Amino acid sequence: MVIQNDIGTTNAHVMVIHVKGMRVQITHMDIHPERIQFLRDMLKGYEVSWGKELNRQADAGLSGVSFQLVQGQFAAKDSTELLNYLKFLGSGLVFLIDWNRARKELRGFLKGKDRLALLARAAEQEIGQGGFLELEGANLINRAIEQRRDSAMHFGDRLCDILGDEGAVEFLRFVFRAAMEGLRDHQSPGLTQDRGRAWAVLANWTSKANGD
């Protein structure tokens, strides 16, 4: 049996799942190697045997993008484990959508490793990045900062430089959850953006950063 999922409908991002007996082979094509690593990390709870990633690197002078193809094999012990693995795959695909876009949106706020950890945790907790992006991602944060007149933030500052790495990560975790819950509960985007708890948390931390 072959299951094909188009994930986010963008080019070169497709997952094909071959199921034969108790064996499941994932074939994943992606233009972002970091997202392939995210997928591998997401499946670390299962003994997946990953094959070599096949790279396509265009010459620097060419406008084409490069992409990678990777395959992961998993052998289930029994039908229960097979079902659980397929369930896990089904539940996780949504977190691949716009993963790299979210990573880029977070550049102004967190360091690289913290961005990856934030997205991984958002997937583990079934929050994801969709809500954050739906509410305009970085703009959501920037507006909150701009509205804080006595903010310690200045143009060019990263949030982690002001709040510290831990504080910035904690704040972004909160924003991700607030965005998801706000949209899920049909709150108006304005409420989530302008008057939500994210604003209050940012205000408190900004005050701390100001030494209040």
Partner 1 sequence: MAEPVLARANTESREFRAPLEHMIAALPKPEEDVIERSAVDNLTCAAKTGQGSLHQLVMDLHKVLNTMQAELSEEHLDGASVYRIDAADRPLISAFMAELNRSAGLKFSHPGLGTTVTRAGD
* Residue found under tokens 């998801």: 180
Q: Is 113 exposed, middle or buried (0-12, 13-18, 19+ CB in 10 A)?
A: exposed
Q: Is 86 in the site for partner 1 (CB under 8 A)?
A: yes
CB under 8 Å to 196, separation ≥6 — which residues? 178, 182, 187
Sign of the CA dihedral running 27, 31, 33, 38: negative
Residues 1-60 that bind partner 1 (CB under 8 A): 1-9, 11-12, 17-19, 31, 56, 58-59
| 157 to 55, 106, 119: CA distances (angstroms) | 36, 13, 22
- Binding-residue total with partner 1 (CB under 8 A): 48
Least gap, CB of 117 to partner 1 (angstroms): 19
Q: Using CB under 8 A, which of the segments 112-120, 141-149, 178-186, 203-211 binds partner 1?
A: 178-186
Q: Which of 45, 51, 90, 112 binds partner 1 (CB under 8 A)?
A: 90
Q: Which of 49, 66, 147, 210 binds partner 1 (CB under 8 A)?
A: 66
Residue whose CB is less far from partner 1, 9 or 150:
9
Backbone angles phi, psi at 134, to 5 degrees: -60, -30
Residue whose CB is less far from partner 1, 56 or 107:
56
Give the Cα separation of 201 and 38 in Å (integer): 29
Nearest to 111 by CA among 42, 183, 159, 156: 159
Q: Is 134 in the site for partner 1 (CB under 8 A)?
A: yes
Q: Using CB under 8 A, which of the segments 35-43, 45-53, 113-121, 123-131 binds partner 1?
A: 123-131
Residue whose CB is less far from partner 1, 24 or 141:
24
Dihedral (C-alpha) 144, 150, 152, 155: value to the nearest 10 degrees?
Answer: 60
Binding site for partner 1 (CB under 8 A): 1-9, 11-12, 17-19, 31, 56, 58-59, 62-67, 82-83, 86-95, 97-98, 126-128, 130-131, 133-134, 180, 183-184
